[in-house]
Amino acid sequence: MKPEGTFTWDAREVAQALKITVADVRLYFTDGRRGKWEVRSITKDGIYFCPSYMVGSGRSFDEKGFLAKLRDIEGYIISDVESFPNIPFWIIPAAQVLKWWKSEILGTTTKISREKALELVRNR
């Protein structure tokens, strides 16, 4: 079966944007075991920081699972998809999200509004 399409990346531009080396970009994007950075989008409905298995109908938030996830990752790459086609992104360390959680900024389930999310990422 033929591919549906091809994603094409300029490794130099990715490296420059993420402030890492081209070698690190290649290593990251070719290692299927990688998962130290969570990707999240700020939508019209907001954003959540808990693992995806805790979000949706019939699912519930588990603080222990959320905190375990924070210990296992480096952080989040957050994009504002509502700004398409020019989508800004922010790199937020897990330690920052933990501070927001401990300060009770993220509410009881880590889901916050779009407005609150943009305020947090812009003023961190």
Q: What is the pLDDT of residues 2-54, one digit of tens each?
A: 656 777 889 999 999 888 899 988 887 787 666 788 889 999 999 999 877 78
Examine residue 29 and state whether it is found in any structural domain, yes or no: no
Question: 38: which strand partners?
Answer: 76
Q: Number of folded domains in the chain?
A: 1
Give pLDDT tens digits for 54-99.
877 778 888 898 999 999 998 998 889 998 888 888 889 999 999 9
Examine residue 20 and state whether it is found in any structural domain, yes or no: no
Q: In terms of pTM, does the model score above 0.85? A: no
Q: Are the beta carbons of 42 and 114 closer than 8 angstroms?
A: yes
Q: Are the beta carbons of 93 and 75 closer than 8 angstroms?
A: yes
Examine residue 11 and state whether it is found in any structural domain, yes or no: no
Half-sphere exposure of 104 (CA within 13 A, CB side): 0
Examine residue 113 and state whether it is found in any structural domain, yes or no: yes
Buried b (16+ CB within 10 A) or exposed e, 18-35: eeeeeeebeeeeeeeeee
Distance CA 7, CA 57 (A): 32
Half-sphere exposure of 63 (CA within 13 A, CB side): 7
Domain housing 106: 37-122
